[in-house]
Every structure is written in structure tokens, then in C-alpha cells.
Structure 1
Amino acid sequence: MTMAGNRLSRIVAKTQKAPPFMQSWLLTKVFGTAIKFAGTAKVDIHHLSHQESRLTIKNRKRVQNHIGSVHACAMALLAESATGYIVGMNVPDDRVPVIKSMHIDYVKRATGDLHAVAHLTDAQIQQIQTTEKGEVTVAVTITDEKGVEPIKAEMIWAWTPKRR
């Protein structure tokens, strides 16, 4: 189930007309310009659809902590970005998505680059697209380059009508 398209999904559709080797770069550039913090941290978008997002953050100096791994705040940014982008793909243009709650448990030390995969079910997409105001818990998995999940994250996103 997908809607005709909101502004965000139309932008993503335009990037998919570019040659495959440029699509990820274009998505990352567009979102990094619009969402400054994600651009500063260099959150890379590899896939974005109504149902799923796949993002990475490289273990670069600018996002490292004192022990040389990705900083806790950068991990939270990755989880928030992965979930926010797919909610944003589904929220109609007359509504605004906002993060309502972030619950993050740091369970292991991260090694290297981090990868995020977030999903929405068809029922969640239906709810977002047809309910004027509501909230949804978005599933997200963060793994490091060894395949370990250094954090467990739960993101609750809400949407409300835009103010006139």
C-alpha cells in the first residue's frame, strides 16, 4: 500500500530516475542539506521506500567518542534518521511528523561503521496515511561491521496536522 505521494516520496522517486550508482549519493545529499545534523554527521542513505530504510554512519573522527567508536549520540541520530525518514515517506503533506520518544539501550561496544534498517508494516502505513493525528512505534535494528547490535532502540513517532 502506498499513497500517490507526499513531497518526500516524490523527491525519492526523482532520485530513482538517476543512474543506480548515483541514487544513494543523491538521497544523502538532499537529506543532508535539509536535515543539517544528519548532513554534518554524514548519515548515508542507501535505500528509502514507504516500507523500509537502510542507512549507515561511518566511524569517522567527527562522530567518534573517546574510545574511537561511534559516539552514543551519533548512534541515536542513526536510529532516529532511519525511522523518521520512513515515517516521513508516509505522512501526508498536510501533517507534520515529530519524534515523540526515543528509548535506547547501549548493550555492546560498537566496532567500525554502523548500519540501520527500519521497517513499517502495511497496517502502520495505512494508519499513518489515513489518520489525521496519531503515533507509531517504528522497528529499527542497528548493527556494526561485525554484525553485532550495539544498541537496542525503540522510536515512537507522532504526526499532527500542520498549523495554518
Structure 2
Amino acid sequence: MDDHNFVLKLYRKFKQWPLGAQLFSRIVCFKAPYFNSIHPVFETLEPGHAIVRVKKRRSVTNHIGTVHAIAMANAAELAGGTMMEASLPSSMRWIPKGMTIEYLKKAKTDITAETKLDVIPDRGSQDVHVIVEVKDINGELVSRADITMWVSEKGTSASQKSV
């Protein structure tokens, strides 16, 4: 399946080069510009698994000097969405349908957003729940997101989606 997955092939190609992960991450942000606001770097991308790192810098902090809640939500959505893109067969598509996020602790350091999905949908329209854990550099869980992804076969009308 992943031999035909453009995003996965691109990541694997770039990952071999010095600064390739940073370059791949910039390409993703060019395609979806809002994510550039957090300056993410993909550490891992494979079917069913993604890790995105975000450095704590002034542009992602809030008024108390910790990583802003929306920056953590952004990292979670980027990790979950890109993992879905890298995991699905070319006949399938996805779109985020909703997200519930818990902010569990102040993020005082760089963060990583990690998601793992054991069962990759390969046919039929369905909701898929993607759990993304956001941790600080000490491995402490600072946020957890549950993203509902609507997965369907390409060519299926959006009006056939049950909302």
C-alpha cells in the first residue's frame, strides 16, 4: 500500500538527507500554511504513527510563558492528519470532523505530539478516532486530543456523509 503513498514516499526520501525532516515539514506547512505558525518538525512518519516536535519559542507561548493551548492543539491536528494521509490507501480520503482536547498540565518546554493508530481503514465510509498525546521533553503528558476523522472512498459525495 505505502509504495503508492505520495506523502510517505516524500517523507522517506527527505528523511535521508541532512535537514531533510525540517525540509519535509516546511513542504507540509506550505501545503497547509496555518501549521507554519508553530514551526513543526516531523520526527517520525509511517503508516499508523507520527511524531511532530514543536520548540518552545516566544511565538508559541501565552501570557504566562508556557506553550499556548492552541499551539498544542495545532501540533495534535498536524500529527493526526498527516499520519492519516500517510496511512490510507490512494483510494481513500480523510477530513477532520471534530476534536476534543484536554489540557492536563502547563507545557513549560518543547513539546512532541505523537499518535498511533493500530487499525488503518482500507474501505468504506467511517469515523476514525485518532488519539494524539502531547508531551513535554520530560515525557510528561501535557495535553491529549481525540480527533474524529471522517474517512471515505474518493468519489463518495460529501453529502453522503453522516454528520
Both structures adopt the same fold (TM-score exceeding 0.5)? yes
TM-score normalised according to structure 2 size: 0.85
TM-score normalised according to structure 1 size: 0.84
Report whether the alignment pairs 1:160 with 2:148. no
CA distance in 2 between counterparts of 1:159 and 1:87 reads 9
Counterpart residue type for residue 40 of structure 1: S
CA distance in 1 between counterparts of 2:59 and 2:112 reads 17
Report whether the alignment pairs 1:145 with 2:137. yes
* Structure 1 unmatched runs, 5+: none
Report whether the alignment pairs 1:42 with 2:27. no
Residue 89 of structure 1, CA deviation: 0.8
CA distance in 1 between counterparts of 2:38 and 2:2 reads 31
Aligned residue in 1 for 2:77: 80
Match of 2:123 among 110, 115, 131: 131
Residue 94 of structure 1, CA deviation: 4.1
Match of 1:30 among 27, 32, 43: 27
Report whether the alignment pairs 1:96 with 2:93. yes
Aligned residues: 156
Counterpart residue type for residue 28 of structure 1: S
* Structure 2 unmatched runs, 5+: 158-163
Match of 2:19, SS? helix
Q: List aligned pairs for 1:66-77, cutoff 5 A.
A: 66-77=63-74
Aligned residue in 2 for 1:7: 6
Percent of matched pairs sharing the same residue: 25
CA distance in 2 between counterparts of 1:46 and 1:13 reads 11
Match of 2:100, SS? strand
Taking structure 1 as reference, are residues 132 and 15 closer, same or farther at Cα in structure 2, changes over 3 Å only? farther
CA distance in 2 between counterparts of 1:135 and 1:70 reads 30
CA distance in 1 between counterparts of 2:143 and 2:89 reads 31
Runs of 4+ displaced beyond 6 Å: none
Residue 85 of structure 1, CA deviation: 0.9
